[in-house]
Each structure stands twice: as C-alpha cells, then as structure tokens.
C-alpha cells in the first residue's frame, strides 16, 4: 500500500503536465501558424513550413527552438523564433528576433553562439555535414536568473 499511493500520485500528475505542455504547444502554434505534429508530457514538435520545424521542451526551464534545413534561413525563421520565444518566456519578440540574428551570424563563423537577454538565452548553431547537409538551429531558453 505504501508504494501504491506514491505511484498513483505520479500517474495522476502526468496528465496535468501533458495538458500544460500541450497548451503551450497550442499557443506557439497559434502565434506562429505552425502545426503541432507530435507531443509528449514534456516535448512537442511543430511543422512551420518547407524545411522549417519548431520544438518545445517543457520543464523547469522551458525552451523552444527553430530548425531550418540550410545555412541561410529565410526572414521567417527569425520571426518564428521571436514569436515562439515570446510565448515561452514572455520576452519581447523583436528583442528575441534581434538576438537570434546576432547569435546566428556569430554561429555561422564559430559553429555555436549565444546571446543573453534578461531571463533567457538565445543559442544558435550552424552545421554542415556530408550525410545530413546544412542545418541552422536557434533556441530561446529560459534562465533561472530572471533579472
């Protein structure tokens, strides 16, 4: 019986978490025009057009990312990052877009780069491999020092 009660509490807590992450994914979809393609209690994938996807990782420090198959993402890439990042962090979408451009530009030279904003970090990576081709990734990640 001792083990049964904690196990029941764990399983009853999972749908609430799934609903929370699902609701956040739906808000990102509404803000960006993307479509939720899959999700779990702590993660969601969204499609945002040709060669462009979004991800959402739910947890103590929630993050959202935009992925583009190529080295030079279209203008829409940064708008998606700004809108999705604003949903997750509450920060100004224009500030997130600007930080995304700055981090992506540096990542094109350095492979990885980040820009800190109050309460979040924008991280970008640009890779190119013979097997997978070029890929540009940027994410808006909540930080725990929200000053």
pLDDT in tens, 42-84: 999 999 998 999 999 999 899 999 999 998 999 999 999 999 9
Kindly give the residue spans of alpha helices, DSSP state H, lying in the chain.
4-32, 75-89, 93-110
H-run or E-run covering 54: strand 52-57
Residue 82: the pLDDT is 97
Whole-angstrom distance, CA of residue 146 vs CA of residue 130: 40
Residues 6+ apart with CB under 8 A from 144: 60, 61
Residue 131: the pLDDT is 87
Averaged pLDDT score across all residues of the chain: 86
Q: Which two tokens stand for residue 8?
A: 């029941």
Model confidence band, residue 145 (pLDDT cutoffs 50, 70, 90):
low
Whole-angstrom distance, CA of residue 11 vs CA of residue 28: 26
Rounded to an integer, the average pLDDT of 17-38 is 89
Whole-angstrom distance, CA of residue 113 vs CA of residue 13: 36
Asked whether the beta carbons of 114 and 125 are under 8 A apart, the reply is no
> What's the pTM?
0.83
Q: Could you tell me which of 92, 17, 31 has the C-alpha nearest to residue 62?
A: 17
Residue 7 has pLDDT above 60, yes or no: no
User: 3-class SS at 132?
Assistant: coil
Whole-angstrom distance, CA of residue 69 vs CA of residue 38: 19
Q: Could you tell me which of 107, 115, 55 has the C-alpha nearest to residue 80?
A: 55
Q: Could you tell me which of 45, 54, 101 has the C-alpha nearest to residue 74?
A: 101
Model confidence band, residue 132 (pLDDT cutoffs 50, 70, 90):
confident
Model confidence band, residue 147 (pLDDT cutoffs 50, 70, 90):
very low
């Amino acid at each position: 019986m001792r083990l049964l009660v904690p196990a029941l509490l764990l399983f009853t807590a999972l749908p609430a978490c799934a609903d929370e992450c699902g609701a956040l994914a739906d808000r990102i979809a509404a803000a960006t025009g993307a479509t939720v393609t899959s999700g779990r209690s702590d993660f969601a994938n969204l499609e945002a057009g040709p060669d462009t996807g979004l991800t959402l990782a739910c947890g103590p420090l929630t993050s959202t990312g935009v992925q583009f198959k190529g080295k030079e993402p279209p203008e829409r890439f940064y708008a998606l990052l700004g809108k999705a990042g604003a949903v997750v962090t509450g920060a100004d979408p224009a500030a997130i877009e600007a930080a995304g451009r700055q981090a992506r530009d540096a990542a094109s030279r350095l492979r990885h780069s980040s820009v800190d904003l109050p309460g979040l970090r924008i991280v970008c990576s640009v890779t190119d491999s013979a097997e997978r081709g070029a890929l540009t990734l940027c994410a808006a990640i909540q930080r725990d020092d929200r000053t």
